[in-house]
Amino acid sequence: MTAPPPTAHSTTPPKQTTDSKAHEKTIPVLVETGEESRFSLGDSKALEYLAQHGYVVIKSVLDEKNITEAKDLCWKWLEAETSMRRGKPDTWTDYNFPDGMSEKGIVWHNSGQSPFAWYVREKAADAFRWVWAEKDLVTSMDGINLFRPQLKYITEGSWWHTDQDPVATKDLNRQCVQGFVSLLPANGTTGGLAVIDGSIKHFDKWHLTYPNGFFRVPRHDRYLHDAVQGGRAKLVTCKAGDLVLWDSRTIHCNHPRWLSGDAQRGGAGAKPFASEAKSATPVSQPKSMSSRAEGRDGSEKGTTTTKERKNSAADSLSSPPAEMLRIVSYVCMIPRKEITKDVAEARLEAVAHGFTLGHDPRRAGRLGRRPGRELENCPVEKRLNANQAKLV
């Protein structure tokens, strides 16, 4: 058996003992965050919290009217680009789900240039101007994220990673403050963003531990194991309209909702929302849970489920919830002075042709297989309003 890379706490590879194998399969003990991580825009304590913990929640970037408008824009885009229909969960199938990582709920396609994404960016811009103390910013053009309510489509969890590579960037300082605006509340019953609290303080050791660079943290990594078992793995809760921010050096991942019947566990950051009890096990292999056939229109036919799902009224395929568990639009902004002329030109082309880009505005790599039908050959001045165009 090949030995794993050395960890940050040793200079030699750890032995592959029974115990070391066991911790790879340990169910994550995630603790819900509470109001201690949620601040009003302009509160200096928010920036202190971000610097200390690597993440923070900014209250109410969208008000109730904004949330309604954003949801309408999201569904208008989904219904134009796919056969998914609002309020009809039987159409929210993998057949209809836009290209991307279905298990993780990520939608690439042309979502990064959708009116929904640009609406959210415009609303979030003041928060990023405050974070950077800069007025002239450029925005990311990354996509959106949806969690579907049906159990068989549950989001894959525990793919811990950082979006800043200490080796490739040759820079241990913070490069980005990433984020998303959520249109729905997030907690243990919905799943959402999970972070390793304070992991930014460990970032300078990664380039010594993994000299070839990496993004996804190996499951056998001792620091990750100790952090998860030590209660530093947090499920970041938020309310509808909140902006969730995290340092690009923070270890994080999306995490599925808690499947235990005890919906009250894990509140206010005091108790784990997923324990090592089998009844609370998050399911991380959605495709193994069912064999299904889907009609050519993408609707479900002849679904065969596991015993667990058959006995779950909440996940009955005859009456699944008519709302997504999660609808977020990713957004990251940096000072304009940090992008090159070539990248600036590529960004204009991305808007004109409907290409989704990554989270870092410094890079212009395209995501998704093709642009959307409605966005091809559409110049910036016709697609965006004046405030949005300033962020290109």
In three-state form (DSSP H/G/I as H, E/B as E, the rest C), the secondary structure along the chain is CCCCCCCCCCCCCCCCCHHHHHHHCCCCCCEECCHHHEECCCCHHHHHHHHHHCEEEECCCCCHHHHHHHHHHHHHHHHHHCCCECCEHHHCCCCCCCCCCHHHCEECCCHHHCHHHHHHHHHHHHHHHHHHCCCCEEECCCCEEEECCCHHHCCCCCCCECCCCCCCCCCCCCCCEEEEEECCCECCCCCEEEEECCHHHHHHHHHHHCCCCCCECCCCCHHHHHHHHCCCEEECCECCCCEEEEECCCCEEEECCCCCCCCCCCHHHCCECCCCCHHHCCCCCHHHHEEEEECCCCCEEEEEECHHHHCCHHHCCCCCCCCCCEEEEECCEEEHHHCCHHHHHHHHHHHHHCCEECCCCCCCCEECCCCCCCCCCCCHHHHCCHHHHCCC
pTM of the model: 0.78
| Residue numbers of the chain with a pLDDT score lower than 70 | 1-29, 98-105, 166-170, 213-214, 259-320, 368-379, 381
Contact 354, 371 (CB under 8 A): yes
Note the pLDDT of residue 278. Answer: 30
Q: How far apart are CA 250 and CA 253, in angstroms?
A: 10
C-alpha 247: how far from chain center: 13
CA angle 214, 287, 237 (to 5 degrees): 60
Note the pLDDT of residue 17. Answer: 33
Residue 120 sits at φ, ψ, to 5 deg, of: -65, -40
Q: What domains are there in the chain, each with its CATH number?
A: 18-275+318-337 (2.60.120.620)
